[in-house]
Amino acid sequence: MQPTPEQTPPPSEPRPPADTSWVETTKTTGGSRKLLVALAVIGALVLAGAAVAITLYATQPDRKPAAAKSPSAWDIEQAQRRAAEKANIDSETLPDPAPTTEGPELKAADVKLSLKTIDKQCFGSAGCNVSVQVQAKHAGGLGTFVTPDTWLVTYEIRGGSDGPTIGSFEISDGSYDMNTEDLSTASSGTKLTVKVVDVEKQGL
């Protein structure tokens, strides 16, 4: 059965669309809050880093460059080995240095000479043949010559029939070899004398 026009319900009016603006506002507000929090955290970290840097700089006024890297044990060992090899080469190729220590100077006045007769033969008016030994000692009363150097002492003996006799001997390391001189004299009473003529250092 067909409904009558009176019984046909009137057409329903369309509903207005739902209000979703609050959803969009909530989403926008949440995103902005997260961004602000992130920016605040980053700013705090930057400020903290700057504060630490300023503190470190203030506590180290005399800033010095970083120290050079210390040599390793192997480097030290190699350097010592090269130095030892160089020292061995130098000691084998270079001559020994001459001693620089010099002894005291010896002058003619420091040497006192005397003659000791060790043989004498006389022939009346013809005179005598005499053998004398030249002895030396330090004039300063030291007895021996305290010197490591070698000195040549030249002396002169007077009183012989043939005129003055010149001789020499060396003083070395505080000792010397005594010379013996053979002379002729005019008589048994002739006196022979000796004196130092020169003292010269040897090895110059």
Residue 96, domain member (yes or no):
no
pLDDT in tens, 152-173: 999 999 999 999 999 999 988 8
Query: How many other CB atoms sit within 10 Å of the CB of residue 157?
Result: 20
Amino acid at 117: T
Looking at residues 39-52, what average pLDDT do you find?
71
- pLDDT at position 11: 56
Range of the domain at 117: 108-201
> How far apart, in whole angstroms, are the C-alpha atoms of residue 141 and residue 138?
6
Q: What is the mean pLDDT of residues 105-128?
A: 91
Radius of gyration of the chain (CA): 61
This prediction's pTM: 0.49
In a domain, 71, yes or no: no
Domain count, the chain: 2
Mean pLDDT across 27-42: 66
